[in-house]
Amino acid sequence: MQQIRQAVTKESLFLELQRWCRDGAGKRNRTLQIMSAFASGPAVEALEPFFDVFLSDGNKIEIIVGIDRNGTTRDAIRQLYELQHAYTKRITCSIFNAPSRIAIFHPKLYLLHTPKTVSAMIGSANLTLGGLGNNFES
């Protein structure tokens, strides 16, 4: 088991996602799954070059972000939409809206499926710049 720390350390969600994407370059049959309550445009933009590397040889990415409480920015939705259209059939992006005002879609789950393993990061980090590395997250 590997401990990932945030913010001032060299181990962050951003660096781990970057590593996953780079490790997937030149390989096939890998899927990166992201479920996050919130996403921001700058965070998606920061990860996009690594997504490009990961997707270049036929890997897949599935992203679900929530729009409850206006936590996901319009820029993030636009960028995810553009990524989905740039990589038809290799990236799927979905938006989740809780069916009730008292509920909220609130996961922070990052999974990497390879032919032999599944790696997971679970904590409090959203797909935002704060969650990727600026905040102190669990």
Q: What is the pTM of this model?
A: 0.90
- 3-state SS of the chain is CCCCCCCCCCCCHHHHHHHHHHHHCCCCCCEEEEEECCECHHHHHHHHHHHHHHHCCCCEEEEEEECHHHCCCHHHHHHHHHHHHHCCCCEEEEEECCCCCCCCCCCEEEEEECCCCEEEEECCCCECHHHHHHCCCC
Per-residue pLDDT tens digits for 47-88: 999 999 999 888 999 999 999 988 999 999 999 999 999 999
Question: What rounded mean pLDDT belongs to the chain?
Answer: 91
d(CA 24, CA 52): 11
Per-residue pLDDT tens digits for 16-26: 999 999 999 99
Are residues 31 and 110 in contact, defined by beta-carbon separation less than 8 angstroms?
Answer: no
Pick from 108, 56, 51, 109: nearest CA to 80? 51
